[in-house]
Every structure is written in structure tokens, then in C-alpha cells.
Structure 1
Amino acid sequence: MKQAIYIHERSDWTQWCWSDKQLLPLVSRVRILQGHLLGKLVTLGFDLKVEAQLDAVTLEVVKTSEIEGETLNNEQVRSSVARHLGIETTDMPAATREIDAIVEMMLVATYGYQEPLALNDLLGWHNALFPTGYSGLYSIKAGAIRDDSKGAMQVVSGGYGREQVHFVAPSADRLPIELERFLVWFNTSADEQDNLDLVIKAGIAHLWFVTLHPFDDGNGRLTRAITERTLAQSDGSLQRFYSMSAQILKQRNTYYKILERTQKGGSDITQWLVWFLQTLEQALLAAQKTTDKIIRKASFWQNHRQQSLNPRQVKMLNILLTDFYGKLTTKKWALMTKCSADTALRDINDLIEKDILKKSIASGRSTHYEVVL
């Protein structure tokens, strides 16, 4: 069987090229969506902007880990992000030190978007991901470039005896020069790169760094942190309001396939960049919907600011206005607020009388309730 030739084995592998004809319409759509989202956020008050940022950063931290098969506690991540953003966390669970480190790494990655990216930054971020020096049960070199002492760095799937190698990274002895070349390119301004659009640069940076795979583990998460930093540059804002990782997770199989195909191709990376920009477009559209929900929720509470509501009602209305899935029933209300079915029904009927909830047309077991907007 013929052995694959990877792009990094070509002498001119970082002389990237692409089709402007295919990319420019996508770049234009992405830029328009960025403008609409950031313009809408400008009209929000400070508290609502912080809430939008809290949602986006929490989503990014949770999903970038989930892509790698690691599930973080969503509420603990949210609590850590809130604390780092200066939001009151009294009613939130305390985050673990590991989650705090990951959140801080992601925020530092974007908050320093105007500063040059240095190798020490990458080593620090990696150390934050693996503070114990372990990835699961395995000891790794945390905060240090891999040395390949245990063999070549490979991306492999399948169980023992039926492993499939998807990618073999550059050898460790190449990494000092390769990383220096990457960082020089990354820190070069767009003006000096023939006015390279920063959303295209984000896609190139993503492909370039994940191809280098310079660490024993955590390469995907660091790649996405670098991507977020470049997108912060493209937005001209240290505040993040959309999540690329959430969209990548939705298309994880396609993501790995397009990466593998590109890494076994030539220097023309048009198809990778098309995929990247389309995914960015979906991330921005999802953020628009989230922002609209935040605005609707703020408007709702402004309209009902004079109403006297108990804590259970406030909690459930906030959930209904943001992240509630399915249909609201008395049973769900009781379960989510940890009260009796009778108490749940009294809470609901009180909100119906106040014209805050309405009952569905269906009756019997199909009875459910909706917020009056």
C-alpha cells in the first residue's frame, strides 16, 4: 500500500494558495454577519453585553474540550467564566482549579489579541491544560514541546490491532524551526501580507498549527485558542460573542475528514478554507439567535418588572426564555424546581392570571404552557 505524503513533507508546504473567486463571496458574507452582530451588541447595555460574552465564552470552553472527548461541567465552567468577567457568582457552583485554568487560558488567548504571540505563551497555555502533567492516565510533557521519545506523533483511530493512521505530524527535531516560522508569520501584520483578510488568516493559522501538532496532547484545543485569537483580531474586540468550537463539534466528522484530506494534499487549501469560512458563518448566525434571545429576555423582564414573583417562577421563566427544550408541563416544572406537583400547578396558574404564561390548546396529557411574548 502506497504511503501517504503529507503536506509538511513538501519543501514549499507553507506557500499556501487558494482561489479568491471561491473565497471572496464567503469572506463578504462573514464580514457582513460580523458587522451585524457587533453592531447589535453596541446597542445593548453593559449588563447584556456581559451576559452575551458569558454565554459565548462558556460555550467555547465546553465545546472545545468536548471535541476532544472531554466533558466539562457546564455550570462550573459558567461560574469560572463569570468570576473572571467580574460577574456575581453567589448562586453558582465553585469551579475546579483545572476548569479555572482552562477558562483563564481561553480568555488570555483573546484578551491579548493585540500583542504578539510568543512561544512562551503557547507553553503557558499548554501547562494550563495539563497542570498535573497527566492526560488521563498518561504522563505527558506539560508546558514543553514534544520530543517523540515514545515514537512519532500520530492521529490514530480504531482499537488495538485495527488502528487506522489518519495523520503523522512533523518530527520533533523540526519543531523549533517550524514553530518559529509559524510565529513570525502569525505576528506579521495583514498589511505586510498583501492585506490578507483576517478571517482567511484564522483558517490558515488553524490548519498550520494543528498540522505541526507540537505537543504530546492538547493540540486541538490550543489550535482553537489560536483561532479565537485571530478572530478577535478580525473583530477588533477582546470580547467574544460567538463560538467556532460549538459549530466544529456539530460537524466533527466532517472536520476531521477535511483536515485529513487537506493534510494529504498540496499547497492549494481552497477547500479547507471554504469549509472553515462556512463553519464561521454558521457560528455567527447561531450567535445572532443567542443575542436575540438575550434581547427578548431583557425586554420581557422590563415589561414585567412590577410583577411579584417567587424564586421558582423567576428561575423557570429565565430558563424558558433562554435554554428550555421541549414543552413545559406541570411535571417538568415540579422536577426542575424540586417542588410538589400541586405547588407547580399553583405557580403556573398564577403566571397565567398575570398574563405571563398561556395554556396550550391541547388538553389532558398533552397540556403544556408557553411564555406570552
Structure 2
Amino acid sequence: MYIYEHEGWPAFRWSDGVLSAPLAAVRHRQGRLIGRMEALGFPLRSEALLQTLTEDVLKSSEIEGEALDKEQVRSSIARRLGLDIGALAPVDRDVEGVVEMMLDATQRYDQPLTKERLFDWHAALFPTGRSGMTRIKVGAWRDGSAGPMQVVSGPIGRERIHYEAPAADRLDVEMARFLAWFEAPTEFDPVIKAALAHLWFVTIHPFDDGNGRIARAVADMALARSEGSPQRFYSMSAQIRIERTAYYEMLEATQKGDMDVTPWLAWFLACLGRAFEGAEATLASVMAKARFWERHRDAPFNDRQRAIINRLLNGFEGKLTSSKWALLAKCSQDTALRDIDDLMARGVLAKDAAGGRSTSYSLVMV
């Protein structure tokens, strides 16, 4: 028996006694983090915002098994927010769609969440009208033509059904009730509302695909409302990606339980608290980048060198070799080696410890 089949659905209940202390702790850390970030100068705050939003988009997609190109995501966000990050990478339509949805949810958090807005988000996520090779119903509730909406795992023939969503003929009523609740004032804390909105939306599962990403965008929108600010300095999606197994297990247990959702709310608050810890790493990265450029503010870097250094400062994946330098900078191997030798002579780059057949290099950060 699923949660939506219980009498009284969706009248969720929870224990204030269990949640009051963790909620107070989360709200305190949330306020401290926002205060620290807002005390930064505009350039550092913009860089922290860009890093956070980039991680949010990347990790929310990774939760669903989709890997997006980091530079494309970063370029798309920077362009939409008017941030100067130098040369912008060409961006695919699917990346643009995910970025557009996430920014609409967080930058326009104070605008009503409506059926039409959700349809626009869904259409942005699936610009080709397909999920992988499968054609899906885009910009509309699922219609049930493909059978029951089930969350399954395992090989074909031995699938395990984790959850089956409400039938398609209930969606108009279910979503109208959800949207009315989301926009109505509530007596409880707005962070609790974010957690409930996430659970409620993903339980209804109104679309053929993309429900998880949209549920997390809805939760981010509610969290932005809890802060009264479009500035995002932490990523709930990035933390959920780290805790993906626990996330799915908690969702399944809650969806197969009764109307008492205290365990889900407690998990959400704890996960949010750990997301604030992740924000500290973002802040440290931003400060390290600022210190690096301050130390080298008078250095005569060429455009190739400056672009590659920024790639390294933004979290370059893998090891930097001369071949990768040539590929990224669109130059010859000889030119790449000259750029690298110049930076090594100035103490900007250093050779990594020997390993593998190719020599690799790292920035000197101290």
C-alpha cells in the first residue's frame, strides 16, 4: 500500500518534537552561510554563485544517470547571469534546457509555480521530445498510454518494482491540489515545506520522465523562498548525489509508509546540513582562486595560459598533460610545451610525481 492510497492523503503529519532541534540547527547554519557569502565582495560572491549553480546542475543530472559537460554548464549559467568568465564554450540544447529550468526556479523563486510553468520546465529538459531513444509526452502530464508509471531496477525479466505512482487519470486533481498548497501560506517553517514539496511532487510523478530533476528544482525554489534570495551558495542536489543510495532508500520507505513522514523530514534536514558543509569547500575554492590571481596580478600570461589556468582553478578533471593542453588551447604540441615551460620557469606550474607514460602538471597554489 503506497502513501497516496492511505485515507487522508495528502495530510502529512510529523513530530515537531523530533524535528525542532535539527530544524533550528539547519536554520542557524543557513543564516551563517548566507551572511558569510554576502560579506564577500561582488566578484568573489559571483564566482561562488557560479560554482554552486554549476555543481547543482551537474549533480542533479548525475543522480538520474546523465553526465553533462561541465564547461558547457558553466558557460550557459555565466551567459544567462551576465558573468564575465572569458571565452564561452558552445552549449548543447539539452544543457541549455537544464540550466534554464534551474535558473528559472531559483532566480524567479518569488513567481507563482503553475502547471504551465512546470510544462515549460519539462519541455526545456527534453528539447527533442525524447528521453534517450524513447519518444515521451513532453510539456504535459503523462497519459498512461505506456502503462503504469513505475520506478524499477534490475535486468530485464528480473526487474524489481520500487514504486508505482498514482494512475494518470488522477493527475489533474493531484497536481492542482499540490500547486494550490505550494502557493498557499503555511504555519510551519518554509524549509519543512521544501522537504514536503520534494516528497509530494516525486510521489505524484506527473511526467513521463524528469520527475526527480523537477522535484529537486521545486525544492530549490522553496529553499530560495525560505531565504528570500535568489543567491545560491549551497547545492542540495550535489549532496543528494553523494548520498544517492540513502536518498532512494528513504524515498522508497516513505512512499511505502503511512502519512507520518518524520523520518523523511529528518533525513532531508540532515542532508541539507551536510550540503552547507559542502558550501564551505566552495568558499575555500573561491578564496584560493582569488589569492592565486592576486599573487600573479602583474604576470604577463598569454590568452592560452590564462584560459588553461582558469580551467585548473575551476576543478580540472584528470591530469593536465601537454597533449591535453594542446587540445584545450587548440594549438600545436610545441606551442603547448613552450607555454608549460614558461609557467614552470615562473613557478606557476610544477611537474607531478612520476606516474604513467605522460608527464603531468599542477598549479602551484602556495
Q: When the two structures are superposed, what TM-score results if normalisation uses the length of structure 2? A: 0.89
1:221 aligns with 2:213: yes
- The answer to whether the 8 A contact 1:358-1:372 is kept is no
Map of 2:151 onto structure 1 = 155
SS in 2 for 1:13: coil
Residue correspondence of structure 1 range 197-216 to structure 2 within 5 A: 197-216=189-208
Within 2, Cα distance between the matches of 1:217 and 1:102? 13
- The answer to whether the 8 A contact 2:322-2:360 is kept is no
Shift of 1:348: 4.5
Distance change in 2, residues 1:358/1:159 (3 Å): closer
Deviations 1:243-301 (A, max 9, x none): 11111111111111110001011111111111111111111111121122212321332
Counterpart amino acid of 2:282? Answer: T
Residue correspondence of structure 1 range 1-373 to structure 2 within 5 A: 5-88=1-84, 91-189=87-185, 193-194=186-187, 196-311=188-303, 313-315=305-307, 317-323=309-315, 332-338=320-326, 339=333, 343=338, 346-352=341-347, 371-373=364-366
Deviations 1:31-82 (A, max 9, x none): 2222222112212222222222211111111211111112212211111111
Shift of 1:325: 6.8
The CA RMSD measured in Å over matched residues stands at: 2.6
Counterpart amino acid of 1:138? Answer: T
Within 2, Cα distance between the matches of 1:178 and 1:130? 23
5+ residue gaps in structure 2? 327-332
- The answer to whether the 8 A contact 1:7-1:265 is kept is yes
Shift of 1:10: 0.7
- The answer to whether the 8 A contact 1:113-1:232 is kept is yes
Distance change in 2, residues 1:14/1:143 (3 Å): same
5+ residue gaps in structure 1? none
Shift of 1:204: 0.6
- The answer to whether the 8 A contact 2:321-2:361 is kept is no
Within 1, Cα distance between the matches of 2:302 and 2:81? 28
Distance change in 2, residues 1:79/1:301 (3 Å): same
- The answer to whether the 8 A contact 2:97-2:126 is kept is no
- The answer to whether the 8 A contact 1:357-1:372 is kept is no
Distance change in 2, residues 1:44/1:171 (3 Å): same
Shift of 1:307: 2.9
- The answer to whether the 8 A contact 1:320-1:371 is kept is no
Q: When the two structures are superposed, what TM-score results if normalisation uses the length of structure 1? A: 0.87
Percent same amino acid among aligned pairs? 48
Within 1, Cα distance between the matches of 2:116 and 2:355? 63
Counterpart amino acid of 1:334? Answer: S
Count of matched residue pairs: 357
Shift of 1:148: 0.9
